[in-house]
Amino acid sequence: MGSRRDAETRLDALWRRGKEFLGTRYAIMGGAMTWVSERHLVSALSNGGGFGVIACGSMSPDQLGAEIEATFALTDKPFGVNLIIMHPELDQLIDACTSRHVSHIVLAGGMPSSKSIARIKDTGSKVICFAPALAIARRLVKGGADAIVIEGAEAGGHIGPVSTSVLAQEILPNLPEVPVFVAGGIGRGEAIVAYLEMGASGCQLGTRFACAKESIAHPAFKQAFFRASARDAVPSMQLDPQFPVIPVRALENKATRLFADTQRQVIERYRSGELPLEEAQLQIERFWAGALRRAVIEGDVEHGSLMAGQSVGMVTKEQSCADILTELVGQACDALAAREAVRA
């Protein structure tokens, strides 16, 4: 028992900075998954000891305000809101958060302006930003970011080109000024411990919670996750550099194969002079419009987008958020206890 208590004490020390920053029992953030990370999953994550994050996506300010209020009705624990900086009503979305005293706002989808960061910080809310490289992380911290998330290519949804392990090695030893949370491909407690020991303040997990009991995702969507392995979660393909495609990691299905065919046909029509460049690019970009909702809400797992990280192979059954968190923490403590036993 002593070894277990020592492991719990060690884990508490490792992620104390992250816990204090988030105001949580565990320094585990929920990834913001559009259509999935809404009031039920977010509140369950926070009530379980983690940190839930509402995915604003394309919500209007009024819709976001209603979602925040509905989440507050389900939890008195801290939670955050993820805002896409390209949203045309970003300032109003920020106001919807700060006027309702949301403690943490995550700015995603690009490089936020110093004006947006200041708008948030002036109200007392904390700002969390994503950084795909050390230089950008330093620039964000200089611009006022209170914490950084580094997310590797193993993650689900929109991804960058660099793996989680490489980003962690590049950034964690060189950014002591603020808490840094690691994300991308994390599905077990042992991995959380590894990143904490490298200097992370906590971790962010999305795919692991996508099929929680509290998730409103369609049963067919969840079954697709339960059947999948890491190799099934692949990035979307770009056929021609003249028509850039932002990579999105998702489970391969009919839609992903059709997307490749669509690109091929559109490019051929452009080259034959049938389509101008702008219209061709627009047709490619429009392909996935509404696809995520089709999968998550409607359960169309063949023609919708099944965004998932490579940790999807570790999602094998429906569990409550509290049980998932307990399992992750238990694995982390077991790993720490095992190391101490070897040293002894």
Residues 295 and 335 in one domain: no
pLDDT tens-digit readout, 60-89: 999 999 999 999 999 999 999 999 999 999
Residues in the chain, overall count: 344
194 and 239 together in one domain: no
pLDDT of residue 344: 62
- In this structure, the answer to whether residues 270 and 212 fall within a common structural domain is no
CA angle 169, 111, 159 (to 5 degrees): 55
Q: In terms of domains, do 25 and 102 share one?
A: yes
pTM of the model: 0.94
Residue 335 CA, chain-centre distance (Å), reads: 25
Spatial neighbors of 217 by CB under 8 A, at least 6 apart, are 35, 36, 210, 211, 296, 297
User: What pLDDT shows up at residue 287?
Assistant: 86
- Please give the mean pLDDT across all residues of the chain: 95
Q: What is the enclosing helix (H) or strand (E) of 29?
A: strand 28-30
Question: Does 222 fall in a domain?
Answer: no
Whether residues 203 and 339 fall in one domain = yes
* Shared domain check, 185 and 36: yes
The residue ranges of the chain whose pLDDT is under 70 are 1-2, 344
Cα–Cα dist 206/190, whole Å? 17
CATH code at 84? Answer: 3.20.20.70
Residues 33, 111, single domain; the answer is yes
- 130 forms beta bridges with 149
Contact between 238 and 250 under an 8 Å Cβ cutoff? The reply is no
pLDDT of residue 106: 98
Enclosing domain of residue 322: 2-216+316-343
pLDDT tens for 273-317 read: 999 998 988 888 888 878 999 999 999 999 999 999 999 999 999
Claim to verify: residue 60 and residue 134 sit in the same structural domain? yes
Structural domains of the chain, count: 2
- Whether the CB-CB separation of 40 and 214 falls below 8 Å is answered with yes
Give the integer Cα–Cα distance in Å for 211 and 316. 9
Tokens (6 digits) for 19: 């816990």
210 and 246 housed in the same domain: no
DSSP state of 99: T
Model pLDDT, residue 2: 59
Predicted pLDDT at 341: 74
The reply to whether 223 falls in a domain is no
Q: Are 158 and 120 in contact (CB under 8 A)?
A: no
